[in-house]
Amino acid sequence: VGQGVLSAEVFPRVDGQLHVEGVPLAAIAREVGTPAYVYSAAHLRARAAALQAALHGVPHGIHYSMKANGCRAVLRTLHAAGCGIDVVSGGELYKALAAGVPASDIVFGGVGKTRSEIAEALRAGVRVLNGESRAEIALAAAIAAEQGLVLDIGLRVNPEVEVTAAHAYIETGEEGHKFGIPQGEVPAAVAEALALPALRLRAIVMHVGSQMSTLTAVRAGAERLVAMVLAAREAGARDLDLLDLGGGLAVRYDDEPEADLAALRDIAQRAHAATGCTILIEPGRYLVANAGLLLTRVLYRKTSGDSEIVIVDAGMTELVRPALYEAYHRIEAVGPVAGTITGDLVGPVCESGDFLALARALPDLRPGDLVAVHSVGAYGSAMASTYNARPRAAEVLVDGERWALATARESYADLVRLDRETLDWRTA
């Protein structure tokens, strides 16, 4: 499972037919139609276990960053496997609680929390709320004081390290980025938090980027966090017992290396030894990306100029990553297909950016063939849209020989459910 998409255990081919664990994808397509996201429970559990093993012996907590995939069946599976949840909005908090995750297993981050989101987090009693600016921390204190509560607060800091992620859009921990408290302001933020009786300063937090394999930036950031924890203790922070390294662990999409878990262990161990803190991490992609694939069906084939074009029934509405980050997702035919072509695999959406693969070696697909787009468990359904009035796709969870519908496909009626049939005009 460490090998991600290459794992023949999770995605075996039996008699030429691609399966997820013990279930043929063709059977799922027959029952729920296409496009559909299909997730492997065994892979989710194995990835949680891999992180737990890597951090074994270091007091730690793993909070799954549910922005990667907020399907409640996925949340329940990972929570049952020992993960807490990292949420970044009132909606995510609502979904995590609705999945049965207790608030004490939830950390709440996010760069722009509203007054009502902060109040919801307080009311629920989350483990820690991570403030990303001094103004936000002051507001959180005021809300806690109004409610007569004491809030466990973390300071999300920007350690301002050099980050190398797969795409500039997923680098977050460099100077000038919008996330976190700039490192120069941290002493002032600590002093302010300590002066507010409605706050208990519990954590120093960072998240420097995503899809990082070497963890050099995490190591550099962790060293800065350790110094901040020690300085905050000097300044009187007696309840500061959590050091959160964020997420960002890379997975294999193609042939790139996965995140170095031995390095993660070493970083966590050193940070714990230096501070005594429990080490938290917030992985999203690492836990879910290679647990899921997007099942889609070929509609048409055509040639345009020199390009061979395969049109499928999924596109940027189901998987925006290729359009947004020029991301690579491995493509495989579900049934046996003889021969390969070089071509584009594209969706039906009216955008030139609507492609799943460009100028790639593809199986010689024909209309009606089923196709698996791999590594879609993270930031697939979570970033889906209904552009072109396309109902959102179904989500299926496979567990051994069994499978279940986890999220029903949206209907046309859902597309007009919230807009008003007639307008109830008012005047100010």
Residue 284 binds to ligand LLP (criterion: CB under 6 A): yes
For ligand LLP, give the closer residue by CB, 119 or 378.
Answer: 378
Residue 286 binds to ligand LLP (criterion: CB under 6 A): yes
For ligand LLP, give the closer residue by CB, 61 or 283.
Answer: 283
The binding track of 236-265 with respect to ligand LLP, each residue x by CB under 6 A or -, is ----------xxxx----------------
Sign of the torsion formed by the C-alpha atoms of 192, 195, 196 and 199? positive
Helix axes of 216-234 and 186-195: crossing angle, nearest 10 degrees: 40
Q: How far apart are the C-alpha atoms of 93 and 74, rounded to whole Å? A: 15
Nearest approach, Cβ of 167 to ligand LLP (angstroms)? 7
Question: How does DSSP classify residue 88?
Answer: -
**Tokens in use for 124?**
């629920």
- 71, 83, 277, 350: which one is catalytic? 350
For ligand LLP, give the closer residue by CB, 65 or 133.
Answer: 65
For ligand LLP, give the closer residue by CB, 21 or 282.
Answer: 282
Respond yes or no: is residue 350 known to be catalytic. yes
**Angle of CA points 194, 195, 199, to nearest 5°:** 60
Nearest approach, Cβ of 307 to ligand LLP (angstroms)? 26
Of 371, 336, 372, 295, nearest to 17 by C-alpha is 336
Nearest approach, Cβ of 245 to ligand LLP (angstroms)? 9
Nearest approach, Cβ of 17 to ligand LLP (angstroms)? 29
Helix axes of 134-146 and 115-124: crossing angle, nearest 10 degrees: 50
Report 305-324 residues binding ligand LLP (CB under 6 A).
321
Count residues near ligand LLP (CB under 6 A).
22
Report 163-222 residues binding ligand LLP (CB under 6 A).
170, 207, 210-211
Of 317, 313, 296, 294, nearest to 384 by C-alpha is 317
Q: How far apart are the C-alpha atoms of 107 and 203, rounded to whole Å? A: 11
For ligand LLP, give the closer residue by CB, 32 or 212.
Answer: 212
Give DSSP secondary structure letters for 342-366: EEEEE-SSSSTT-EEEEEEEEE---
Catalytic residues: 350
Residues that bind ligand LLP (CB under 6 A): 65, 67-68, 86, 109, 170, 207, 210-211, 246-249, 282-286, 321, 325, 378-379
